[in-house]
Every structure is written in C-alpha cells, then in structure tokens.
Amino acid sequence: MEDVRARVLAANRAIVDAGLVTLTFGNASGVDRSAGVMAIKPSGVPYEQLDESAIVFVELASGDVVDGTLRPSSDAPTHLVLYRRFPDVGGVVHTHSPYATAWAQAGRELPCLGTTHADHFRGPVPVTRSLSVTEIDGAYEEATGDVIAEALEERGATPLDLPAALVRGHGPFTWGAGVEDAVENAIALEAVAALAFRTFAIEAEVAELDAALHERHFTRKHGPGRYYGQS
C-alpha cells in the first residue's frame, strides 16, 4: 500500500506538471487489488499541499475510507466504477484539460485523424451520452462511471486498447494498467485533442485516418508483435 500511495502522489503531481490541471480540477488514483483498496487524491486540496499522508485509501467493494483523515475526491465513485467494471485497469486520471474538455463540452467524439492518435487509442475516443435527471439527482458520480463504461462497451473495445472517454459536458477520463499509464494517456489525449482541433481549423472536411494505417500504428506499440521501443 505504501508503494501505491507514493505512485498516486507522483501521478497527481505529474498531471499538474504536464499542464493538465487548473486549480484543483483533477485527480489521479491507483488500485491495490490484492489489498482491495483504491488510493486517490483528497477532495479540493491544492496540489502544492499534497504529500503522501494526504492520499486517501478507499475500499474497492464498499467505497468506505479505510486509511486517511481527509475526504476522498468527489470523483472517487466514478473511479471505483471503472475499477469494478474493468479488472485490467490499475490507474485512473480525470482532468479538465482545455482541448479534451472542449471536445467533451461540444458533445463530440474525438476522431482519429493521424498516427499520433493511432499510437495511443484504438479507435475514436468516445463521448458519453448525457446523464438523465434521475442520474444527476441520484448517485451522480457513480452514474458518471456507468456512462463511461457504457460508452466503452458499446464500442466493443477493451479498456486498455481504448483507455479514454469524454464525459459529455464534463471532461476527460483516462486509465491504464497502472497509474503511470493513466497519466501518459491523459497527456496523449490532450495532445491529440489539440491536434484534431487545429486540423479541423485548417481543413473542416478532413477524413479520418485510413483504418489499416491506424491499426498498424496501434499494434506496433501495443499488439502481441509490438516492436516500438526496447524489449
């Protein structure tokens, strides 16, 4: 658990350093499945005040705080849904990064226009449906997790092949096998969201990337025969 605490603290600092966070608009979490707990940033605490003692541990099954004196992020129920629905996920990041959030507010999925996108996401990044009034008035944050999972399942995508979603009217969530991967995917998502915005500004009728090229770029980094990087 101490290792998870340190990694989650480092992840929260990393999303700030990457320019993905304004004020306290964001959070990162990591999971220790052997202990049945999630570690997450506390709610509303400025990032410069974070240290390892501030990280809150929440039981995966119940959502109860099991270690820490502060209240966990208000988005904790969303993170918990993703961990419960997707056993391969080991880290989750939520930000309000400018370009990815703009796509979410526009209610538009993020199409794959080039190989930068294809290197990280196997398909367009989905945008969720709108939450109903009942969902908003009820367990809102949990319902947010449900619509993310729903959007992913509708694509038939595995969570590590398509490790991001845009919550309509809200902002981006990313995840990965570990919290470090979730951070990397948050950085990549913001980069490709910015590139797509600029591409459409130059050419409004641009076509999505050829499917074969998209698949080649994704699999050379993530497939069983991947050859990008060092062994």
pLDDT tens readout for residues 139-162 = 999 999 999 999 999 999 899 999
Is 228 annotated in the active site?
yes
Selecting among 88, 137, 210, 228, the annotated active-site residue is 228
Question: Span 12-24, mean pLDDT?
Answer: 95
Question: Span 72-89, mean pLDDT?
Answer: 97
CA distance 96 to 21: 6
Which CA distances in Å does 82 have to 1, 75, 85, 92, 142?
20, 11, 5, 8, 10
Lowest mean pLDDT among 132-146, 178-192, 196-210, 213-227: 213-227
Question: Span 108-125, mean pLDDT?
Answer: 97
Is this model's pTM higher than 0.85 or not? yes
Selecting among 119, 137, 146, 161, the annotated active-site residue is 119
Residues 6+ apart with CB under 8 A from 187: 18, 20
pLDDT at residue 25 is higher than 80: yes
Closest CA to 173 of 189, 155, 156, 192: 189
- Two tokens at 161? 């092949």
pLDDT at residue 1 is higher than 80: no
pLDDT (0 to 100) of residue 127: 98
Closest CA to 182 of 23, 41, 34, 24: 41
Is 181 annotated in the active site?
no
Q: Considering Cα of 50, then 55, then 56, then 59, what sign does the dihedral take?
A: positive
Q: What percent of the chain has pLDDT over 70?
A: 100
Helix (H) or strand (E) holding 92: strand 91-95
Residue 153: strand, helix, or coil: helix
Query: What band does 129 get if pLDDT is binned at 50, 70 and 90?
Result: very high
pLDDT (0 to 100) of residue 225: 86
10 Å CB burial of residue 229 (0-12, 13-18, 19+) is exposed
pLDDT (0 to 100) of residue 201: 97
pLDDT (0 to 100) of residue 157: 87
Tens-place pLDDT, residues 162-177: 999 999 999 999 999 9
Question: Span 111-121, mean pLDDT?
Answer: 97
Query: What band does 178 get if pLDDT is binned at 50, 70 and 90?
Result: very high
Query: What band does 223 get if pLDDT is binned at 50, 70 and 90?
Result: confident
pLDDT at residue 48 is higher than 80: yes
Question: Span 22-29, mean pLDDT?
Answer: 94
pLDDT (0 to 100) of residue 229: 87
pLDDT (0 to 100) of residue 230: 85
Question: Span 198-227, mean pLDDT?
Answer: 94
Residues forming beta bridges with residue 91, ordered by sequence position: 30, 176
